[in-house]
Structures are given as structure tokens and as C-alpha cells.
A = this chain, B = another copy of it.
Amino acid sequence: MDNRCVVLAARPQGSPREQDFRVETRTVPKLEADQMLCENLYISLDAGFRNWMDEGSGDNVLPAMPLNEPVMGLTLSRVLESKNAGFKSGDLLMARFAWEEYTVTHAGDFISPIGVAEYPLNYYLGVLGDTGLSAYFGLMDFGQIKPGETVLVSAAAGAVGSIAGQIAKMLGARTVGISSGTQKCQRLIAELGYDGAVDRTAPDLGQAISAACPEGVDIYFDNVGGPLLEAVLDRINPQARILLCGSVAAYNATEPLPGPKNLFQLTTKQAHMHGFMTHLNLPRYDEARAELAGWIAAGKLVVHEHRLQGIDSVGKAFCDLFAGVNFGKTIVALKP
């Protein structure tokens, strides 16, 4: 059986370009003992995976992606055939599989089984997937939001940010989002309920943050890192919490970006910086999904999606993330 895959054709220099990816047709191998064959229905595009596209970028989370091999990502998949005792045909999975139509695995990969799919399948990669859950676990575990506090979110229209801003608002915070351009900033307020917005392209970013956060920043949900983090650190309140979810600014840097010069603000403000990795909370996914789904059902949480169609558009969809084209979760549906 043919398997169309997106391979890493070249290591991106800076922001990824479409020609860094190439679609190849391979053959699905025969199943060996303990293996299963999965059909990938949706592919999730997540900026964080840019991290492992550089030479020598392997770390304790993932190895560096090899050239000319299918690109790693997150998928929503259905088991077609299983020789693995833990899975049976028809099972739905949210999994860390490659950008390809079919995946054969020993089930040793990162897999989050979805029992009965109570919600639209695409939600399991977005609001009920790693991105929505990143917003949820970050704020719930480390945000300690008190009503009236100011929560600032970077990449506020992105897959994680769009959910984080809405959750923070629900928890009683005043929310301010950072995004690029007037139009996206207007949409933050109109469509995602942010109380204020900061245009990242403003000539004086620090002043723009101060204007939008006149009482300072209590919680910074950071998806971006880089110079923006430095500008925010100068404006944190005592006991502030900085939630380090992502660092898009660094993923594309050809040289490591300098860190914030003012990290000592954490000391003088007695503030806290928390890194977190959503996949480490796998046992809590079901509970978190139930709460998020409850909010959607109650109309408190609105889901935005940037959807493309077909395996040929996966590379473009990934590049869109870094071009700021998306509003909400970027996803590719592989089936019509």
C-alpha cells in the first residue's frame, strides 16, 4: 500500500520555507509482531517541533530529526490493524507520529488513546490536544490566577495563546494579548475576548506593553521568548509568575538568542518562572479534556482553526505558523 510522507528535505535556515519539505511516496511495510498500522486523519502543526529540525538538536525530549525522513509531529489517527495487545482496530489515538498518511508503530511512541470520541475529532489536536492542554496545565498548575490580576499572553492568537487567553479570562483575570499587526490585535479583542492587545510590531514595544497593562503584569504566559520576554520582565509585579510554554523566537534563530538581560527582576520582584511540558501530564489528559469540553459546551470557550487540506499542504501549513498567518489552531485534514 502506498504511503505519502512529508520528509525533511533540508534543515531550515531561520524560518522554515516550503522547499525545506518534500512529499515522497513510500510503501507501508508488513506488520511485525506487536506492531499496529494506523491511518492518520489529521496532522497538527506545532511550532515547537521546529526545535528538532536543526543538526544536533536532540535533547531529553526528542532526537534531532534526520534529513530525508518523515518529519515528526502530532497526529489524530485511527488503528486499522493491530498485532499489539494494547490496541485494536478502530481505536482512536492522539499520537506523536510522523507527517505521513499511514504509520506503523510498536506503540512505543507517545500515544494518548481517545476512548469514545465525544467531540469532533479535530478538537483532539487543538483545544483538547497538546496545544489546548498546554494552556490548561500551564495556567492551572502554575498560574495561580487571582481575580483582577493582569495576564499577558504572547502569540495570543496562536493555538495555545487563543485558549490560554480565554481560560485566564474565565478565571477572573484581565487579559492582554500580544500579536502582530492591527488586524490581528482587533481580532484578539473581538473574537477571543481579550481586554487589551499589544501590537508586537509597535515601535516601542515596552511602552506598548506598559500602556496595555497599566497595573503591571502578574502572569505572563510566554509562547515566544526572546526580546519580548525581556521587555515583559521589566514590567512584572511582585510575586509575578512567568509561564514558559514555548520560545518561537528561538526556534528559528540560526545563532542562540541572548537571554534576557534583566533576569534579576525575578529576584527583586520575588517572582517565579515555570517551565512546563504538557506531554508529561499524560495521565491527566482525560480529566483536563472533560473540563475544557465543558467550557466549550457552555459557550465559554470558542475554538478557532486554521485548516488546510491534504498531505501536500502540510509543509505550507507549518510555514504558516511562523509567518503568523494562522488564527487559532493550524491543522491539516488528510482525508476529504
Residues on A lying within 8 angstroms of B by beta carbon are 59-61, 225, 229-230, 238, 244-247, 250, 256-277, 280
Query: Can you list 6 A-B pairs, Cβ within 8 angstroms, ordered by A?
Result: A60-B268, A247-B263, A256-B262, A259-B261, A267-B277, A270-B280
Q: Is the CB of B263 within 8 A of A259?
A: yes
A273/B272 in contact, CB under 8 A? yes
Partner of A275, one of B246, B260, B267, B275: B267
Judge whether A259 and B256 touch: CB under 8 Å. no
Max chain B Cβ within 10 angstroms of own Cβ: one of A61, A265, A268: A268
Known contacts A259-B259, A264-B250; A275/B271 CB under 8 A? yes
Q: Kindly state the separation between the CA atoms of A276 and B265 in the bound complex, as whole angstroms.
A: 10
Residue with the highest number of chain B CB atoms closer than 10 Å, among A263, A265, A269, A271: A263
Which B-chain residue is minimally distant from A237 (CB atoms)? Answer: B60
Q: Are A261 and B266 in contact (CB under 8 A)?
A: no
For A258, the chain B residues whose CB sits under 8 A away are 258-259, 261
Q: How many identical chains are in the complex?
A: 2
**Cα–Cα distance between A269 and B61 once the two chains are bound (Å):** 9
From the candidates B238, B244, B267, B269, name the one contacting A267 in the complex (CB within 8 A). B244
B60, B246, B261: the one within 8 Å of A256 (CB): B261
Verify A277–B270 contact, CB threshold 8 A. yes
Cβ A238 vs Cβ B60 within 8 A:
yes
Q: Assess A277 versus B268: contact at CB under 8 Å? Given A230-B259, A263-B260.
A: yes
Question: Are B276 and A267 in contact, with the CB atoms below 8 A?
Answer: yes
Interface centre among A225, A238, A271, A273 (most CB of B within 10 A): A273
Instruction: Tell me the complex Cα distance, A102–B181, Å.
Output: 59
**Interchain CA distance A267-B272 in the complex, whole Å:** 13
The winner among A260, A267, A269 for most chain B CB atoms within 10 A is A267
Contact of A272 among B61, B269, B275 (CB under 8 A): B275
**Residues of B contacting A244 with CB < 8 Å?**
263-264, 266-267
* CA distance in complex: A261, B244 (Å): 14
CA distance A60 to B234 in the complex (A): 11
Indicate if the CB atoms of A245 and B273 lie closer than 8 Å.
Answer: no
Report Cα–Cα, A264/B253, bound state, in Å. 13
Q: Which residues of B contact A271 (CB under 8 A)?
A: 275
Closest Cβ of chain B to A37, distance in Å, is 31
Given A257-B261, A261-B259, A273 and B277 touching (CB < 8 A)? no
A255 to chain B, nearest CB (A): 9
Asked if A268 and B225 sit within 8 Å, CB to CB, the answer is no
